[in-house]
Structure 1
Amino acid sequence: MAMRLIADSGYRMLRGSAHWQACALHDTARVDDLVMLAPAPAPVENGGPAGGFAGGYAGMAFDRRCRLFHPRPEGGSVDYVLWCQTSALGVHDNKPHPFVITAAGTEVEGSVTGELPKRPLALAGDAADYLYLADPDSKAVWLIDTWQQEVARRIDFAQPPLDLAACGGEVFVLLADGSTWQISACAAPERSVWPVLAGAQRLSVSAAARGGLLAWVLSNAGQFDATLHALHLGKSIAVPFCTDIVSDAEDAEFGTLMVVAQRPGENFLRLRLLANQPTMLPPLMAPQYDGRGIALAPDCRIAYWTAQGLRHAAPARAQYRQHGTLFSFALDAEHDQTQWGRLVVEACIPAGTAIRFRAFTRDELEFDDPIDGIGLAGETPVLSQHTWDHYAGESQTLFRDPSQRPLRPAPAEGFALYDAPLIVAPGRYLWLVFEFSGTRSKSPRLRSARVEYPGHDLLKKLPRTLWREAASRDFLFRYLMAPAAMLDEWQAVASERQRLLDARIAPEAALPWLASFLGLVVDPCWSPTVQRQMILEAATLFRTRGTLASLKRMVEILSGAEVVIIEHFRLRGGGVVGNPRVNASQAVLGVGYRIGGAIGGALGGALGEPRRQALATDQPVAPAAVDDVQNFDDFAHRFTVSVVAALDARQLDCVRRLIEIHKPAHTDFTLCTASSGIRAGLGAHLGISSVIGKSAGFEQGLMGDAVLGAGYLLGRPEIDREAK
């Protein structure tokens, strides 16, 4: 007897960026794992340019002192703006000041010359406040000392330099042949590992989240066929009429943010690249942009140049297309003539917007006209264009389901579940077509769609006479779909009830209930991960509750850091900076500690002879005797919990409540963290409350801003002028 390896029932899911990429999108766009209406084209200022932009390039750069340097290639000069200088209303200084460059100190092959840059085209600044200037006419990169305003070095190349990019202390140059070179920090130019790309004109370099660098170049800048190339990936993205690019440091969760400047009068585009997939973000407005380059300001805004001087791009109001369509790829049930059941959609549908759908089925995939040609060579192509043009019926409505699924996570914030029966003929393959409608400022968002098959079997539990006819069968099938869905949910809960007793997979809402079986009270400040681990170890921890090991482990679970617990009686006789009398009593067994006697050599007997005589004659007790008696009050039943981590106020309160509940009775404690540091006169325990590590370093001092002896250096290291 053959075993069936294909399930007779189940569901098919559309969810995540990988699925949406396999669909055909018409006037819709994918944003991470969502699909929504595509942005509408923004109105172009003054009609906009008719063709490509050919106004030239003038790359700007900021230095560490918040000065923006702006080149003027036609005049062979450089201006600067005091970006950090603002008015009472917070307006930046937009008046350009000439940056005069002198030839003092210029060295070429050991001889001093009077040469100066001929046509400054692109700029970049390093961490030492040196300005790098790309000069294609001289085929050189000039290193300018911004403090002395003089040329410090000239670096010659065989090809004209076109652009510069700085990332931290490293500076890179793009040459006319498409090669990239690192010119700082290194003694001589070094060829980078990135491939040569002919036609590259712009360069941007940013830090990767896991170390290393990301390199981007732009070819055919300002033209319709402008293309953005990721040198570190070997991939390309078409960005028509792009004039310049800026990339920020990569974030492990967010990805890389890139700003793409277009022609004058057009908005700046924003792209987020996560897992090497581009996502379009709301654009930026840049009125009066001159089209000659952009720069990333110290406050992470985008700076650009206009006829009136420096300006900053501002977020543009989101504008969406009002109608769009998503065509899914074929969903396969693995059996011919499958009766598809219910469609469940997770979506955000604001007021004034809507999502409707159509469904199509077939038992074969033998067609050669998928919409947009998507999936033609694969096993799951999108819907046939002929089918869509001639057999598209009425669209169906989605109905909101406000109930919370048992043992299921709630939908994401702002989203809800919608469902509807699939009114479609039986078939092995199913295609879904979602129709989006919105307004200029609002768009529905689709997160996922799930289709059940082969539908419920409640008809078989009714007399056949009720559903013998096709029309009656179809009506009863859809009519009974709601109670069938409820029965399926109950059955799913019953089959998964064992999850409630496993802290590793139990729903978050059930964790306090599960903890109550072990006598563990869950604090609201505990994260779900902490709750699960506490429940898993509760039985072991409660067997030794009140001991050092149990309390230490509980604090470690809560804080996620190393924990050291010090009992104060172990510190008797230890040295404390600033307390000369701390060594008056040595509690060392066999030396200064006698069983049955008192601590310290000044006392004799159980209470010490001086104290016994004083008590008998009602005289004042000697100070030494008092100190020895108070030793017990200072150290007994007291302990310190040191968490080797920096905790905020909320985390400290959470840890303190945990210790209060689970510490031994009639004891007192002190809680400190790594941020407590060395405390002169109180305690300085290396590796416990005092961690020795790398310092914050020093900064270069500026007149009026720096105080000698407070972490500043005068001057800076001399540059190696002999480096070529």
Structure 2
Amino acid sequence: MYADRGIALLAHEDQWARCAHDRTVLLAGGGIGLDWQSIAVSSPWDDKCGSCTPLKKEKPALAAGLAFDRWCRAWRTRPLDGSLEVTTSSDAPAADCPGGLRHPTGVAVDALDRLYVAESAGHAVMVADLWSGRVLHRVPVSGRPIDVVSPAAATGREAGIGSGSGAGAYVLTRSPHRVLRIDGAGACTRNEKLRRPCGHPQLRPARVALLSDRPVVLWSGDGTAVIADLLGEELLEEPGATDIEGTTAGRLVVALGPGDVIRRFSEEGGALIEDEPLAAEDYDGGAVTIDATGRVVYTTRGGHRTTQGPKTRHVRQGSVTTYRLDSGTYRTRWGRIFVDACLPTGTGLTIRALSTDEDEVYDPRPPTPPARGTRAVRDPDQTPPLPPADAFDDSDVQPVVRRGHTVALAAADPTVTGPEWTTYETGVAAPPGRYLWLQLELTGTERTSPRVRALRIEQPGHALLNALPRMFSSLDEQADFLHGYLTPAEGMLHDLDTAAAERRMLVDPRTTPDEFLPWLASFAGIALDLRWPEEARRALLVEVYPLYARRGTQAALERMLRLYLGRDARIVERWRLRGLGGGILGFEPDGGLDSPTVAGTTRRAGMLGHFTIGGALPGADSYEKLAHRFTVLIPGCLTDEQREVVGDLVRAQKPSHTLGDVCELGSGMPVGRLRLGLTAYVAPPLRRATGTIGRARLGGGTVVGTPAVASRVGETRLGGVRVG
């Protein structure tokens, strides 16, 4: 919202559903478009020889099954042949098909790479392991198993690999009509009785799919088909449906008979919103599925194919009339209209506007639902009134103009993002009034349709008329013309002023858009590493100037590592570790200096038990060996990318005359790099149980000994020393 004006927004699907529609539809994902009709496609059962009698082909008694595994191999059942065939790509491993199947129908693959095949005549479900290529179980079921579906296929294979979320399968049976849930071990974990859809006593269950988070069943018979949940609540009636497939994201595809299209739906707000149907050339009526990439795949006589895109014929013109918009102030001059739309070549969009100050609407237009995508409207009696039936006959038609990219932070920014969406702009060509109606006229071709996602209308418009002499706006006609004439120029200046007023957001790393971060980093003369997480890049830019003022110091490098890793890293200069290498027994051969003892006595250490603390021999030049060298100690383990980024960061930020390496501490003490108080700590925290020899497991969380001061070496006897 601008500081001096508000925005009336029309974007939600509930808002579009309350409008009056004329040959328009509600689209899946939101928005409106032109209505369409399906176009028939070729069928393998059509007359190919040109005779009067079509070729007769024997169709399967029961529908077939189709499923894909992680190697993109297609598994398809042949019910009449009693066989299971697999189609592999050139880079996929070979696979053997299990034999001895008794009328196989449905097939599915779960997240643990187990193959499930419903044997209708065998009253069992075969479970095979795809890794070993052997049959694990033949699970007997009561009734005839008709279809099987796995949660892995509905969720997406990548989401279920290596986890149990997509393991197991749902099995649909007849006589009795039930849905079973079995796991890979052959155990039945769920057994629910199906309820027949009300008013359809002749239907029988034919297919099962997973839609959102629940199983749905296709009931068919006598040319009628109904999709319902397990409780019998009808979701969709689709005559001639042969198969269904769904996803946990709410996507549903319905395959019709041979020679017809494959319909698509999305579950939004508890309703199924239809998208344009897809062409399915040579579909044999067997099975349809959705592969791991989201493509719709169906069976043919020679194998399987993917759909060929939408197969529709759009109407060429339609309109949507909004309900009454209220500015809250009488004599309001409405401003600009911003439209988020997709207008392909050959399509168009125009807008008519109607305003009034009358509170009552006489003879309003009756509400007309969309041709497709109708959904339940909450509290329909609360919908503002529609305009009179013939109200827009005398209204001026305003074409929309593509909006430039002159501003990034104005309120006119699109509410939806994506390469296919563009913001268009026009003005409200209507006299002052508190209330406003808009009528959107959509035009297209048979193959393409415009799509509109959101409307935003300024309320009120600009106030430049108040800055001009009153003589220019004394008459309403003159004021209306001058207001519309100045709207485009004022809008551009207003957007620039708004962006300038909010420019502090662009130069603040915490609020600037992600695409502006490299531009902001150029002020400091640095190039951001895109391997860093976005939050880490923003945190670096917040502290970049004080960090680079201390560049090359230990504190600056540790802070940069903290920003990237999200945990503390410590830098240890090796010269600080001189003298901690170990003990030297006795004196040097030349008799040298007295060596201090652990016991703190002044005796000369010439006997075992009195040793010198220190790891470097007297006379050794440890400065030459340890100066200008350091080690970066990082708790935990790093990924390959993190290891590469940390290495590049250390090399770029350390002083050029120094040498450094990175040590990952992992989850335990690194053998060979153990530094007391640096990489590991001796003695546990208080109140931890003390382990007893013979009753404690090494590495099990106990400590040998007690946390007390150790005895002096040389002044105690063996067996009397407490370790710890």
> Are the aligned partners of 1:466 and 1:472 in contact in 2 as well (CA < 8 Å)?
yes
2:149 is aligned with 1:165: yes
| Aligned match of 1:218 | 218
8 Å CA contact 1:344, 1:449 repeated in 2: yes
Equivalent of residue 397 in structure 1, options 399, 405, 421: 399
2:472 corresponds to 1:473: no
Q: CA deviation at 1:320?
A: 6.0
State the shift of 1:476 in Å. 1.1
Shift in Å at residue 482 of structure 1? Answer: 2.5
Counterparts of 1:312 and 1:424 in 2: how far apart (Å)?
54
Query: In the alignment, does 2:15 pair up with 1:30?
Result: no
The offset of 1:244, in angstroms, is 1.0
* Counterpart code for 2:63: A
Equivalent residues of 2:297, 2:307 under 8 A apart:
no
Say whether residues 1:292 and 2:286 are aligned partners: yes
**Is 1:183 the counterpart of 2:182 in the alignment?**
yes
CA deviations on 1:199-240 (whole Å, 9 max, x unpaired) are 64321248x7xxxx54232234795653354x6998834555
**Is it true that 1:557 corresponds to 2:563 in the alignment?**
yes
- Which residue is equivalent to 1:597? none
> Relative to 1, partners in 2 of residues 1:497 and 1:351: Cα closer, same or farther, differing over 3 Å?
same
Instruction: Tell me the distance in 1 between the aligned counterparts of 2:97 and 2:528.
Output: 63
Q: Is the 8 A contact 1:361 1:429 kept in 2?
A: yes
Supply the distance in 2 between the matched residues of 1:385 and 1:43 (Cα, whole angstroms).
Answer: 40
Contact 2:177 / 2:193 at 8 angstroms: preserved in 1? no
Equivalent residue letter for 1:226: V
Question: Which SS does the other structure have where 2:436 is aligned?
Answer: strand
> How does the TM-score come out when normalised to structure 1?
0.67
Distance 2:369 2:646 in 1: 58
Deviation at 1:478, TM superposition (A): 0.9
- Using the size of structure 2 for normalisation, the TM-score is 0.67
Distance 1:334 1:301, change over 3 A: closer
- Offset of residue 451 of structure 1: 0.5
Q: Name the amino acid aligned to 2:389.
A: H
- Residue equivalent to 1:243: 242
Query: 1:477 Cα deviation (Å)?
Result: 1.4
**1:506 shift after superposition:** 3.8
Identify which range, 637-646 or 171-180, moves more after superposition.
637-646
CA distance in 1, matches of 2:273, 2:664: 42
Matching of residue 143 in structure 1 with residue 136 in structure 2: no
Partner of 1:358 in structure 2? 352
Mapped pair 1:315 → 2:312? no
Q: Matches of 2:277 and 2:42 in 1, distance apart?
A: 15
State the alpha-carbon separation in 2 of the partners of residues 414 and 482 from structure 1: 25
Does the 8 Å CA contact 1:61/1:125 hold for their aligned counterparts? Answer: no
Partner of residue 81 from structure 1, selected from 70, 76, 85: 85
C-alpha distance in structure 2 between counterparts of 1:507 and 1:163, whole Å: 49
After superposition, the CA RMSD in angstroms is 5.2
| 2:510 is equivalent to residue 504 of structure 1 | yes
1:341 aligns with 2:335: yes
Structure 1's 299 and 446: CA in aligned 2 closer, same or farther, altered over 3 A?
closer
Q: Which residue of structure 2 lines up, in the alignment, with residue 715 of structure 1? A: none
User: Alpha carbons of 1:325 and 1:635: their partners in 2 closer, same or farther (altered >3 Å)?
Assistant: farther
Secondary structure of 2:380's counterpart equals coil
Instruction: Please tell me the residue identity of whatever aligns with 2:235.
Output: S
Give the Cα–Cα distance (whole angstroms) in 2 for the partners of residues 544 and 515 of structure 1: 18
Distance, in Å, in 1 between the alignment partners of 2:345 and 2:480 is 32
Change (3 A) 1:486 1:305: closer
Contact 2:206/2:219 (8 A) holds in 1: yes
Q: How many residues align?
A: 599
User: What aligned pairs does 1:5-84 form with structure 2 within 5 A after superposition?
Assistant: 9-25=5-21, 26-38=23-35, 41-45=38-42, 57-62=62-67, 66=73, 68-72=75-79, 75=80, 77-84=81-88
The amino acid that maps onto 1:437 is T
Q: Letter of the aligned partner of 1:451 in structure 2?
A: I
User: Cα distance, 1:357 vs. partner?
Assistant: 1.3
1:155 aligns with 2:143: no
Cα offsets for 1:360-400 (capped at 9, x unmatched): 33444564712339968243357457246x73644211123
CA distance in structure 1 between the aligned counterparts of 2:16 and 2:186, rounded to whole angstroms: 49
Q: Measure, in 2, the Cα distance between the counterparts of 1:36 and 1:602.
A: 97
Per the alignment, residue 699 of structure 2 pairs with none
Aligned partner (choices 646, 662, 667) of residue 639 of structure 2? 646
Correspondences of 1:370-409 after superposition (within 5 Å): 370-372=367-369, 377-381=380-384, 383-384=386-387, 386-387=389-390, 391=393, 393-405=395-407, 407-408=409-410
Structure 2 unaligned segments of length 5 or more: list them.
47-53, 152-165, 198-203, 371-375, 594-615, 680-724
2:64 and 2:318 map into 1 onto residues whose CA distance is 39
Partner of 2:260: 266
Does the alignment pair 1:668 with 2:659? yes
Cα distance change on mapping 1:68 and 1:540 into 2, 3 Å: same
Residues 129 and 665 (structure 1 numbering): CA distance in 2 closer, same or farther, change over 3 Å?
closer
Inter-partner Cα distance in structure 2 for 1:475 and 1:644: 70
Residues 562 and 644 of structure 1 are in contact (CA less than 8 Å); yes or no, is this contact kept in structure 2? no
The 5 Å alignment of 1:71-150 reads: 71-72=78-79, 75=80, 77-84=81-88, 100-101=99-100, 117=102, 120-124=104-108, 127=112, 131-135=116-120, 140-143=123-126
Of the structure 1 ranges 325-334 and 624-633, higher mean CA displacement relative to structure 2 is found in 624-633
**For structure 1, which runs of at least 5 residues remain unmatched after alignment?**
1-6, 103-116, 573-585, 595-599, 607-623, 690-724
